[in-house]
Amino acid sequence: MPTIDQARAWYPADDPVHGFDHVLRVLRMAERLGEELGADQEVIRAAALLHDAAGAVPGPESGRPSHEQASATFAGQILSEEGWSAERVEAVAHCIRAHRFRSLEEPSTLEARILYDADKLDVLGAFGVARTIGYALQAGEPIFAEPSPQFIRSGEATPGEPHSAYHEYLFKLQHVAERLHTEPARQIGQRRAVLLRRFFEELAAEAEAGGE
Ligand SMILES: [Fe+2]
Ligand SMILES: [Fe+2]
């Protein structure tokens, strides 16, 4: 099992969005859910420590595998070197591949559902607001831009339309709480989603008022 100090070295020290403090929050939440739901805590711990270890920071995307694929591959190398069996490596790799909202692979095991939920709870609530703003700034996108009617309808931006933090709220964040998989995470998620919604609705209202 990777140690906390070993895992810390895989993440940027100064990244408020996908840095190690996010990983530690996901680890704590995943272990709490795993305890409550009787999951395999070893798989949970390894998956949480490794889930964003490769390619999660925004940058030139061309030719790079998506971060859930890159992190799953990296996890496979680390755990195989530690002597984990192929079956348990795959259990961890599946959790990591399926942890994204935009993942093509659905979480099909209890451990994968728990990692997904723990990761998503960190985009709701106060840390969710802070991280979404942080991500927009890292990606060179504005905090708020008026979404086009097409974006509101379909989630498809018009040419040249920025993907602001508010766009991310409309496209993804407002739906996250209802797409959590486990009951205890849903309860926490509903509470956190209230703050998230209030923040982004207020943001849009203030932007509109300022434009009068
Ligand atoms: Fe991720
Ligand atoms: Fe994450």
pLDDT digits (tens, 9 = 90+) for 149-202: 999 999 899 999 999 999 999 999 999 999 999 999 999 999 999 999 999 999
CA separation for the pair 127, 88 (Å, rounded): 31
Full-model pTM: 0.89
How far, in Å, from the CA of 118 to the mean position of ligand 1? Answer: 11
How far, in Å, from the CA of 149 to the mean position of ligand 2? Answer: 30
Contact call for residues 39 and 33 (beta carbons, < 8 A): yes
Cβ atoms within 10 A of the Cβ of 70, count?
17
Structure tokens at 155: 């989630």
How far, in Å, from the CA of 125 to the mean position of ligand 2? Answer: 15
Q: Which ligand is nearest to the CA of 22?
A: 2
Predicted confidence (pLDDT) per residue in 113-149, tens digit: 999 999 999 999 999 999 999 999 988 999 999 999 9
Residues 138-177 as b/e (b if ≥16 CB within 10 A, e otherwise) read ebebeebbebbeebeeeeebeeeebbbbbbbbbbbbeebb
